[in-house]
Amino acid sequence: GENVEQHPSTLSVQEGDSAVIKCTYSDSASNYFPWYKQELGKGPQLIIDIRSNVGEKKDQRIAVTLNKTAKHFSLHITETQPEDSAVYFCAASRVGFKTIFGAGTRLFVKA
Binding site residues, other proteins, CB under 8 A: 32, 34, 36, 41-46, 49, 89, 93-99, 101-104
**Measured from the CB of residue 50, what is the shortest distance to other proteins in angstroms?**
12
Q: Who's near 19: CB < 8 A, 6+ residues apart? A: 11, 13, 76, 77, 80, 84, 107, 109
Q: Who's near 60: CB < 8 A, 6+ residues apart? A: none
Residue 78 or residue 106: which is nearer to other proteins going by CB? 106
Residue 18 or residue 26: which is nearer to other proteins going by CB? 26
**Measured from the CB of residue 36, what is the shortest distance to other proteins in angstroms?**
7
